[in-house]
Amino acid sequence: MTVFKTTLLATAAVFALGTAAHAADPILPAPTPIAPAPALAHDWSGIYLGINAGFGSGTTYAEDDDAYDFGGISQNAFDDISGFLGGVQAGANFQADMFVLGIEGDIQLSTMSQTVTTNTPNEATMSLDYFGTVRARAGVALDNVMPYLTGGIAYGGGTLDAEDTGLNASDSQTHVGWTVGGGVEVAMDESVSFKAEYLYTDLGKSDYDVGSSNDSNIGFKFHTIRAGVNFHF
| pTM for this predicted structure | 0.77
Give the CA diameter of the chain.
141
In terms of Cα–Cα distance, which of 53, 161, 169 is closest to 110? 53
* 168 CB-contact burial (10 Å; exposed 0-12 / middle 13-18 / buried 19+): exposed
Q: Name the domain count of the chain.
A: 1
Q: What is the CATH number of the domain that holds 207?
A: 2.40.160.20
- Asked if residue 186 is part of any domain, the answer here is yes
CB 109 within 8 A of CB 83: no
Query: Is 201 inside any structural domain?
Result: yes
Per-residue pLDDT reduced to its tens digit, 86-131: 999 999 999 999 999 999 999 999 999 988 776 666 777 889 999 9
Q: What is the mean pLDDT of the chain?
A: 81
d(CA 168, CA 211): 8
- In-domain check, residue 22: no
Asked if residue 191 is part of any domain, the answer here is yes
What pLDDT is attached to residue 115? 80
- Domain, as residue range, for 215: 46-232
Residue-level pLDDT at 199? 98
pLDDT of residue 161: 85
Cα–Cα nearest to 206, from 168, 169, 155, 165: 155
Q: Output the pLDDT for position 64.
A: 52
